[in-house]
């Protein structure tokens, strides 16, 4: 499993269409985390001011039809995540 965090309001914004976060249009991929501990660290680092509640999608990467690229965090991973951690981008 890989994990994608988002505010519940984002998930509910277009209930009749596919989910597409802003990063998909802006960067060409959806940011994900490789495991639960990293997901919690990412949420604590980047979602402090996000509308509540938050939702975490657990994605079975073997069932995705989109390509998953594993890349280093740029410019650096959040505090508490090892420098060599690779993040899945869908």
| Mean pLDDT by groups of 10 residues along the chain of 90 residues | 97 92 95 98 95 96 96 94 97
Q: What is the pLDDT of residues 22-38, one digit of tens each?
A: 999 999 999 999 999 99
- CATH number of the structural domain spanning residue 19: 3.20.170.20
Element housing 71 (H / E): strand 69-72
What integer pLDDT is reported at residue 11 of this predicted model? 95
pLDDT at res. 87? 98
| Number of domains making up the chain | 1
Degrees to nearest 5, angle at CA 46 with 57 and 12: 40
Q: Are the CB atoms for 39 and 9 separated by under 8 Å?
A: no
Q: So what's the pLDDT on residue 90?
A: 97
Domain holding 77, by residue range, is 2-89
Please give the Cα distance from 86 to 65 (Å, whole number). 20
């Amino acid at each position: 499993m890989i994990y994608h965090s988002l505010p519940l309001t984002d998930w509910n914004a277009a209930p009749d269409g596919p989910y597409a976060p802003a990063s998909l249009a802006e960067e060409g991929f959806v940011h994900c985390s490789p495991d639960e501990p990293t997901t919690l660290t990412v949420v604590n680092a980047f979602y402090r001011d996000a509308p509540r509640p938050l939702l975490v999608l657990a994605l079975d990467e073997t069932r995705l039809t989109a390509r998953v690229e594993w890349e280093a965090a740029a410019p650096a991973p959040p505090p508490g995540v090892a420098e060599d951690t690779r993040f899945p981008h869908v």
